[in-house]
Structure 1
Amino acid sequence: FISLVVGIYALLIPDLAQNTISAAFIVIGIASLFINFYTDAKDKYQVAGSALTDKFHELRILYQTVKSTNAGDDLTQHTEVLKRIQKEVFSLRINKQIFLSDWYAHYKFFWQSQTEWMNEQLRFSLLRDKWPLSFTIIVFLIVAGLIYKATLLLINLIHFC
């Protein structure tokens, strides 16, 4: 809330009246308001996250077990375990997510977890899988904006000379 107030006052006070600073404070303030909407459900998210992590480890063990079987072995039992894990995962998921939680989830999953065993089969790529789509779009827009600004600066320098 405080950053939102500072951002709004920064639009009015001449010493703080830089649009970039004001916009940053307003965005941070709005983001913190969105995050505060989920404070009551924090325990629910914690329980679901821990249970999903347990299912992730169960899936890794199942993968290693199936990988160590011989060609032609009966995999019916393993298929049933996979179906059970999938059913439990679907029952644990929470569709309404907190602001930017997908960014945090990508970071936790791809950069802090041991996912090499999954990468053997899925071949994760950086832009398609390891970065959230919204992050990729924002990076693209920032780079495009910087290129645009640099182009305008060069055009002005050429006309000035």
Structure 2
Amino acid sequence: MTKPDLQKQIAQAGYNVGYGAKLHLATFDLAAKVPGFISFLTFAVGLYFLLLDFTAKKYFSATCIILGVIGWRVSTWDSRKDEYSKVGSKLTGLFNSLKALYYEVKASDSPDVSSFSSRLEELQNEYNSTCLSNQMLFSDWYAHYKFFWQHQIDWIDGELHFKLFRDKLPLSFMAAVVVLILCVIGIFIWHFATGSCGLCLNGYQLANEGSCRAV
């Protein structure tokens, strides 16, 4: 293996480990913070609906049910959130070790990189044995934000050359945005069409009334 090939391989491992660390920490953050946020949101929505008439109370009830279901789903992660925090911290340490290894290889003048390759394999094996398989819904969105927009990854980007839509934005997030835009356009078209039909109908009725009066 050549030195440039090894540097790129270390960068790829750094991406996997760094993103994995952020993914576990994202699951921990969501499990720790979302229940409190839902409690505050329920209180705020309840206070808001106190100012509305009684006919709007059904919307409050539906909102509370939805928030309650979300809170219940998130609470199932509470017993394991500390485990995700520990794994995330350990993976962060492995990420830093890979970063140090990358710069060691970069600064080395020796053509023999077998010792560096062995260390890389050890770090990758430790990463594979440390990761947890289950992650919370939407934790990948949060992990993308934490890794690509908050973390210093210039040394990885210099080797892998990340692209905005291919790498930095999750595919599921982009699909959700497209669906949301299509829904907004559909609602706008529907309102415009029903409004136009309403105006035409009113004009037709007024014309008929005028004809009847003339007769």
Q: Is TM-score (shorter-chain normalized) higher than 0.5?
A: yes
Output the amino acid matched with 2:188: A
Q: Which has the higher helix share?
A: 2
Give the whole-Å Cα distance in 2 for the aligned partners of 1:26 and 1:123: 45
Structure 1 vs Structure 2 CA RMSD: 2.7
Q: Using CA pairs below 8 Å that are at least 6 residues apart, which structure has the higher relative contact order?
A: 2
Aligned residues: 152
Code of the residue aligned with 1:134 in structure 2: it is S
1:15 aligns with 2:56: yes
The yes-or-no answer on 1:152 pairing with 2:190 is yes
Which 5+ residue runs of structure 2 have no aligned equivalent?
Answer: 1-37, 201-215
* Residue identity opposite 1:14 in structure 2: T
Question: Could you say which residue in structure 1 is the equivalent of 2:79?
Answer: 40
Which of the numbers 102, 110, 132 marks the counterpart of 1:63?
102
Q: Work out the CA distance in 2 between the residues paired with 1:140 and 1:28.
A: 25
| Structure 1 residues 16-57: Cα deviation after superposition (integer angstroms, max 9, x where no partner) | 344xx7665544333322221111112211110000111111
Q: Taking structure 1 as reference, are residues 115 and 26 closer, same or farther at Cα in structure 2, changes over 3 Å only?
A: farther
Q: Which residue of 2 aligns with 1:127?
A: 165
Is residue 31 of structure 1 aligned with residue 70 of structure 2? yes
CA distance in 1, matches of 2:63, 2:161: 37
Tell whether the 8 Å contact from 1:34 to 1:98 is kept in structure 2 after alignment: no
Partner amino acid, structure 1, of 2:168 = K
* Cα distance per residue 1:86-137 (max 9 Å; x no partner): 1111111111112322222222211211111111122222222222232222
| Counterparts of 1:147 and 1:140, CA distance in 2 | 11
Please report the TM-score for the alignment, with normalisation by the length of structure 2.
Answer: 0.61
1:99 equivalent in alignment to 2:137: yes
Give unpaired runs (5+ residues) of structure 1: none
Given residue 69 of structure 2, which amino acid in structure 1 is its aligned partner?
I
Does 1:117 pair with 2:155?
yes
More deviation in 145-154 or 32-41? Answer: 145-154
- Match of 2:178? 140
Native 8 Å contact 1:55 1:89 kept in 2: yes
TM-score, length of structure 1 as denominator length? 0.79
Letter in 2 for 1:69: S
